[in-house]
């Protein structure tokens, strides 16, 4: 893939702080770090424009809690058009993590997350915004 070089003018302190951060993140080069920031911005734009996106909804819950597993499964069946996969993890004896991979319009994914958040007994629900990758090179 051909590369494009460009220059950026910044206050003296900003590149130093940026270099400190990317060094701590073990990012190999400034170019990769800037490219990652640009891609993250483009993914945010995909979500704000309402195009098809992908992501994950992460649930944490106590599986001993009455009916919580059934309610999660029922909600997933209702939202089957947006859900493409699930993964179930046992971090300890009592708690479960459910990772729900989703694809669709951001409003559809938000509706799935709202339906899941409404389930009593969930300890945590978060949405990780991702991309289908079609809009990124």
If 0-12 CB within 10 Å is exposed, 13-18 middle and 19+ buried, where does residue 98 land?
buried
Calpha distance 13→64 (Å, rounded):
52
If 0-12 CB within 10 Å is exposed, 13-18 middle and 19+ buried, where does residue 79 land?
buried
Query: Which tens digit of pLDDT belongs to each residue from 65-109?
Result: 999 999 999 999 999 999 999 999 999 999 999 999 999 999 999
The pLDDT assigned to 135 comes to: 85
Kindly report the pTM of this predicted structure: 0.86
User: Residue 137 pLDDT > 80, yes or no?
Assistant: no
The backbone torsions φ and ψ at residue 63, rounded to the nearest 5 degrees and listed phi first, read -70, -10
Q: What are the angstrom distances between the C-alpha of 42 and each of 47, 50, 102?
A: 9, 13, 19
Percent of the chain with pLDDT over 90: 93
């Amino acid at each position: 893939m051909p590369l494009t070089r460009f220059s950026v003018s910044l206050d003296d302190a900003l590149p130093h702080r940026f270099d400190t951060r990317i060094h701590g993140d073990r990012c190999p080069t400034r170019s990769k770090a800037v490219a990652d920031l640009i891609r993250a911005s483009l993914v945010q734009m995909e979500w704000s424009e309402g195009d098809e996106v992908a992501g994950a909804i992460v649930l944490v819950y106590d599986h001993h809690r009455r009916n919580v597993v059934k309610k999660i499964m029922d909600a997933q069946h209702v939202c089957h058009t947006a859900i493409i996969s699930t993964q179930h993890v046992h971090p300890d004896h009592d708690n479960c993590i459910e990772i729900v991979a989703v694809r669709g319009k951001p409003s559809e994914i938000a509706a799935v997350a709202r339906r899941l958040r409404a389930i009593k007994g969930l300890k945590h629900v978060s949405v990780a915004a991702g991309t289908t990758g079609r809009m990124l090179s």
